[in-house]
Structure 1
Amino acid sequence: MHPTFVLVHGAFANSFSFAPLQAELGLLGHRSVAVDLPGHGFRATYTRAYQSPQDPAGLATAPGSIKGVTLADNAAHLIAILERNGPVILVAHSRGGITATAAANARPDLIDRIVYVSAWCPVRLDVNDYYAEPEMATVDPAAFASALAGNPADLGLLRVNFRTADPDALAAFKSAFLADGTDEEFLTFLNTFQPDENLDVGTSADRAQAATWGSIPRTYVRLADDASLTPAAQDRLIREGDELTPDNPYDVRTLAGSHLKWLTDPAPAARLLGELAAITPPR
């Protein structure tokens, strides 16, 4: 039986991000399922204040459906999807790696291979703490400050105004996500983002566990030109994972491009995933 690719999106994203990749996978004869984590996709909140003309005060205070969603909720949702498929190659991008890791810690029996595409897989530190490390020194969170809407502590969620017209904010977004894309590609992808994201990125209890997560065959797909999760940070995550389970190291691959280029130009990634399917027997 051929494996099903279960695709997990990153922050502020949703299953829509994977539509071009799923088309390529389908043309290669592969089955795939794109996940919407709780509060994402058609369950996301788009307030009237987010529409044009925007109401900044309303946007800063309007409630969002993702408030209170936890990493445990995300993992439980993903596990329920994994239980309905099999064999499975679990593919996670960016922040989606945190959810994939939590699911792998809990139910390694449901996953035949886990693939991180420039994704977070915390081993020694909590995710937020990695941002203070040298490998992430070139990433400037302040660059997004002008697009932040409301106080996360008051809203109970993180809200970013991706429909801003602020040229500095748009330039920061493009540099971080799709510096190697055209302005048209960048704006098109930006309009698939949702404004709200949950705050919970887990604790030390949610880091990769050797006995469970470490038993799963795994691949890390480096994105060589990623300015959001830098290549140095990706390499550190790979190194820490290998040190945790030296008898089951990452199979490391590299794709050229930025954080989102593999999704706007998905043919190389689809071919790579097809190669992984060919070497992944059911567990």
Structure 2
Amino acid sequence: MTPTFVFVHGSNGSARNWASIQRELALLGHRGLAVDLPGHGAGAGFTAAYQAPQDIEAFATAPSTMALVTHSDLVAHVIGVVRRVREHGPVVLVGASRGGLVLTAVGNAVPELLDRLVYISAWCCVDRTVPEYLAMPEFAATELGAFGSLMVGDPEVLGVTRWNWRTADAEVLAGMKKALLADGTDQQFLAMLNGFEPDEIADFGTDVIDPATWGRVPHTYLRLTEDQAMPPAMQDLLIKQADARTPGNPFEVHSLACSHAGFGLSGRAPEVAAILAG
């Protein structure tokens, strides 16, 4: 039977991030369903203060619709989607970047519902949490430092991290483009920023792969070799560690020479879809 691909977005994203991949898969005869995680998409916390002209003071204190959302809520939501999709045939669960955290937790919980997990330059924690991985030398090459000045408000008060993606600071914008879409055009980069949502949950969860459950599911890792947000060295470390925990079921690894967001935005969607369809 033809599988259904279920897509999980990354930080500050939504189901819209997968439109180009879904389109290319549909042209190859495959079904695709992109998930809006709780608090994202139509439920995102956009406010009048975030519009132009912006009221940064009001934006920094406006309540967030995802303040009470947890990592466990994201996982439970995706499990519910997977259960429904599974009624119609095989399921391939695909996640990018932070979306990998949800993939791991779902793979741990319901391996019997999954036919494959696909991580696209995504977190696949093996023996430590995301904050601990961030402190490792393999992550040192990241260009995400450019994002620091975009944080607005106090996460402890808001219950979320909040970002002003509508900055006009040319230096910050250049740093962000280098980190996320160095291989894209300025127009593609600005379109991407306009699709970002300002709030994201601060809870990364503590899930690491369980060899007894996650380890039963075939899994693929798509390395993005020009990624300056999630350095290739970190991607390779996660793959190596996971393979050591599940030596009988190692990652199937593919590589694509593109940026963190370039797999869907810089004309590489047909190549990604071909890998998924394979």
- Please state which band the TM-score falls in when normalised by the shorter chain: over 0.9
Matched length: 273
| Structure 1, unaligned runs of 5 or more | 276-283
- What is the aligned-residue identity percentage? 50
> What's the counterpart of residue 177 of structure 2?
174
SS in 2 for 1:143: helix
Question: What is the CA distance between 1:154 and its match in structure 2?
Answer: 1.2
Q: 2:47 is matched with which residue?
A: 47
Q: Counterpart of 1:156 in structure 2: which amino acid? A: G
Question: Which residue of 100, 118, 133 maps to 2:103?
Answer: 100
CA distance in 1, matches of 2:84, 2:257: 33
Q: Given residue 67 of structure 2, which amino acid in structure 1 is its aligned partner?
A: K
Partner of 1:186 in structure 2?
189
CA deviation map 1:2-32 (0-9, x unaligned): 1100000000010001111111110000000
Partners of 2:149 and 2:235 lie apart in 1 by: 27
- Structure 2 unmatched ranges of 5 or more: none
Q: Note the C-alpha offset of 1:252.
A: 0.4
Q: 1:168: Cα distance to partner?
A: 2.2
Instruction: Report 1:114-193 matches (<5 A).
Output: 114-193=117-196
- 2:165 match: secondary structure: coil
TM value normalised by structure 1: 0.95
User: Per-residue deviation at 1:141?
Assistant: 4.7
Partner deviation per Cα, 1:185-214 (whole Å, 9 max, x = no partner): 1001111110000011012xx111111111
Q: Distance in 2 between matches of 1:228 and 1:140?
A: 6
- Counterpart CA distance in 1 for 2:70 and 2:229 is 23
CA distance in 2, matches of 1:250, 1:142: 30
User: Normalization by structure 2: what TM-score?
Assistant: 0.96
Q: d(CA) in 1 for partners of 2:110 and 2:208?
A: 14
**Cα distance in 1, alignment partners of residues 41 and 156 from structure 2:** 23
RMSD between superposed Cα atoms in Å: 0.9
Per-residue CA distance 1:43-75 (angstroms, 9 max, x = gap): 101111100010110111001111121111000
Counterparts of 1:64-75 in structure 2 under 5 Å? 64-75=64-75
Counterpart in the other structure of 2:225: 224
1:217-253 Cα deviation digits (max 9, x unpaired) = 0000000100111100000000010011111100000
Q: Alpha-carbon deviation of 1:140?
A: 4.9
Distance 1:66 1:100 in 2: 20
- Deviation of the 1:143 alpha carbon: 2.0
